Structures are given as structure tokens and as C-alpha cells.
Amino acid sequence: MEERIAKRNITIIALTWALMSPFSSAVNVYASLFILGLGGGPVEVGIISMAGTVTLAFSRLIGGYLADSIGRKRIMVPMTIAYGILTLIYVFARDWTWILLGSVLSSLALMYQPALQAMMFDSLPPDKRGKGISFANMPSQISSLAGPPIATLIVASMGLIKGMRFLYLLVTVSTVLSGIIRIFLVEIIRNKAEIGIKHGVNEYTKALRMLKGDLGKLILTTSSVAALYNMAYPYVQIYAVKYLGITVEEWGIISTVVTVWSTFTTLLSGSLADRIGRNIVMSLGYASGSIGLVMIALAPRGNEIYLLISLLVNSFFSSGPAAQALLSDLTDVSSRGKVIAISGLLEGNAAGFMSAVGGVLYSTVEQLTFAIPAVLLVPIVVATWKLLPQGSVSAKL
């Protein structure tokens, strides 16, 4: 691997993430409320979340296969541009069913995600992956800080519906531009392979044989956690505004503070993953998530400070960089795209199903949407610490 090419790829990936992040972060602040504004309810929010995550889970299978067969770049560039164009459906949405359609179609375009992840893993040395992943994400984490205040100002001045349409238009522009910039990526792993259904099935059959031992445990863990998180997180903003009585502007301010905090904790967690072990940092991330969800379930009405503290506790550690680094540690370069896709398939289906369950729970007893995942995370915290490996650790604290 040429170090210069690897650094170039990481720079381009980081740059394009940073370009898209402010606007994707902005729409996320009010995405669920936007669905409510278009005539949907908590159940519809769950259905849309389920449709998007399940579609993405299967589209990653195609993307992972193509990433390992024809190359990372050849799938990333056109699908990034397609994703941006499909976001226009949100801009012109007339009711919540348009959002459902947009969620499905844009999730199909996101088949490039395994290719993007694989190229980043290809470009990082094993003993620096946790830190490298965190620092590759750092520009986007920093630029995403602008998202919540941008969303708050635009929604406050234009109203929820018009403001969100404008924000989604900004997502379209920034994503298409990012796709164009990704033309300058350079392939590191060049796999020449035939393309076909039979070949794809054979390749995935081989990849499935890898899902045993530590890799299987890792994917089972991340899939379980994704399911529990998706039961709760799509409903936090609805809970804050509609149940706790926090104003839309206050929610925007809370989101801004939490985004700043999460940027710091993600960088710290990525560095710790290389020093004390992937499993330990993942466990700490799940523990802080569990405690934060309990606090959210117990939040008193009208107390925005308590809600803010709950969300800060929720993101005290980030499990993401450690989990990605460990996945990279445990996979072979030639099968990396397919393994990422299989992992995404399991996580996506579990998350999609549980997001729908969360919508039903929220419509019954709001607090259960957060309390149940909090309790179920506890055994996962212990199992992650005890059963998963440390991965490639460069030094001890």
C-alpha cells in the first residue's frame, strides 16, 4: 500500500463527510417532527425508519459485493450522486408517504456505504485504526456542529415544513458535490472478478463462513445494540417536544450542545480503543447509553436542563470507532466489503424491526420506548467486556 495514496483517500473521505455533515446533522434535528408535520404519527415514524433501515440492509449486500469485485470507487461515486438527487423527494414531499418513498429509494443508493468503509479500513494500519477512524471523522464531527444551530435558525424563521424543505435541498447540493469530489479517490485494493448472481452467492457463502468466533460475536453484539438504539432514538425529539413540552427552539439548542459534546467523546473513545482495547470502549459506550436512556425515561416535564444532562450522559462514550476498528481487525482485505455488508444486513433488519416496535410502544406508554432498551443493554455491556477481544492495541495506559 502506498502511504501517499492512503493519506489522499482518507483526506478525500474526511473532506466529503465534512461537506455533507452540517446539513445531514441539521435535518436530523427535526426529521421526526417533519414527519408529524406531514400528517404522520409515532407509528408512521417507526414504519419509515423500519423501511429505510431494512432496505439499506439489503442494498448493502449488493454494494459490498460490488466493492470487493469491481472496486470501492466505482460504486461510491455514482451512488453518492444518486443519493443526493433522490433527497429531492423530501424537498417536494406532500405527505408522510413521500418520506416513506424517499427513505426506501435513498437507502438503495446508500449501497455505497460498505465500499466507503472498506476503503477507509484499507487505508489505515491495524494498530492505529481506532484513532484513525476517529480522526477521519473529526472534520465531519466539527462541521456537523453547525447543523443544529442552522436547523434551529431556519426552522424558527421559515417554520418547520418550509424550513425542512430548504434544509433537505442543502443536503442534495452538498451530497452531489461530494460525489463529484470522490472521483479523485484512488483504488488501493484491485480485485478483478466476474460479476453475476451465481458468483455473488458463492462469494457471500465464503464470507458467511467467516462469521464464527470473535467476528460472529462482534456482529451479534452490534446488531443487538443497533436494534435497541433504534427502538428509542427516533422518538427522542418527539418525546422532548410533544411530551416533555420543550420548545422547538430549546430542542435545537440542546441538539447543538449534545453535538459538540459527542464530537469530543468520539475522538476520545477512538484514541482509547487503540490503547485499552476495542471491547472495553464498546462496553463503556453501551453503559453510558443505558444510563442515559434511563434518565430520559425519568425526565420531568418542562425541564430542559435535565433532558440535556440525560443526553450528555447518553453519549459520554462512543462505541462506534471501537466497533468499526474491531470489525476491520477481524476481516480479510479481500472480503471486507462483503463482511461489512453482512454486518449491515443483520444490523439493519434488527434495527428496522425494533424501530417499528418502538413506535407502537411510544403510542402506548412513552417512557417504555426508552426504559426497555436501557434494561436490555445491561447484559450486553457485561458480555462485550468479557467475550469480545481487545483487537490491535498499540499501548497500554
Q: What is the CATH number of the domain that holds 315?
A: 1.20.1250.20
The reported pLDDT for the residue numbered 397 is 39
Q: Please name the residues in contact with 358: beta carbons below 8 A apart, sequence gap of 6 or more.
A: 46, 230, 231, 232, 234, 235, 369
Would residue 300 count as lying in a domain? yes
Could you tell me the residue range of the domain that residue 58 belongs to?
Answer: 3-186+194-387
pTM of the model: 0.75
CB atoms within 10 A of CB 3: 9
Residue among 85, 112, 95 at smallest CA distance from 48: 95
Contact 350, 228 (CB under 8 A): no
pLDDT at 369: 95
What Rg value do the Cα atoms of the chain yield, rounded?
20
Query: What CA–CA distance (Å, rounded) separates 151 from 110?
Result: 24
DSSP of 119-175, one letter per residue? Answer: HHHHTS-GGGHHHHHHHHHHHHHHHHTTHHHHHHHHHHHH-HHHHHHHHHHHHHHHH
Alpha carbon distance 231, 375 (integer Å): 13
Give me 155's grid cell: 426552522
C-alpha cell at 41: 404519527
Answer whether residue 313 is part of any domain: yes
Residues 29 and 31: their CA atoms lie apart, in Å, by 6
Angle made by CA atoms 322, 182, 328, in degrees to the nearest 5: 20
Spatial distance between the Cα atoms of 144 and 287, rounded to a whole number of angstroms: 25
Instruction: Say if residues 282 and 322 touch (Cβ distance below 8 Å).
Output: yes
pLDDT at 193: 56
pLDDT of res. 337: 74
Let me know if residue 335 belongs to a domain. Answer: yes
Please indicate, yes or no, if residue 395 is contained in any of the structural domains. Answer: no
Cα angle at 67 between 63 and 69, to 5 degrees?
Answer: 115
What one-character DSSP code corresponds to residue 241? I
pLDDT for res 328: 82
Residue 30 has which C-alpha cell?
A: 427535526
Asked, for residue 392, whether it belongs to a domain, the answer is no
Query: Does residue 397 form part of some domain?
Result: no
Domain count, the chain: 1
In a domain, 311, yes or no: yes
d(CA 191, CA 203): 13
Per-residue pLDDT of the chain (397 residues; tens, 9 = 90+): 567 777 888 889 889 989 999 999 999 999 999 999 999 999 999 899 889 988 988 888 888 888 878 888 889 999 999 999 999 999 999 999 999 999 999 999 999 988 888 888 777 776 666 667 767 777 887 888 899 999 999 999 999 999 999 999 999 999 999 999 999 998 876 655 556 566 666 666 666 676 678 888 999 999 999 999 999 999 999 999 999 999 988 999 999 899 889 888 988 888 888 888 899 999 999 999 999 999 999 999 999 999 999 999 999 999 988 998 898 888 877 677 778 778 888 888 888 889 989 999 999 999 999 999 999 999 999 999 999 998 765 544 3
Residues 388 and 397: their CA atoms lie apart, in Å, by: 19
67 part of a folded domain: yes
Q: Which three cell numbers stand for residue 97?
A: 408517504
Residue 204: count of CB within 10 angstroms of its CB: 19
Helix, strand, coil percentages for the chain (3-state, nearest 5) = 85, 0, 15
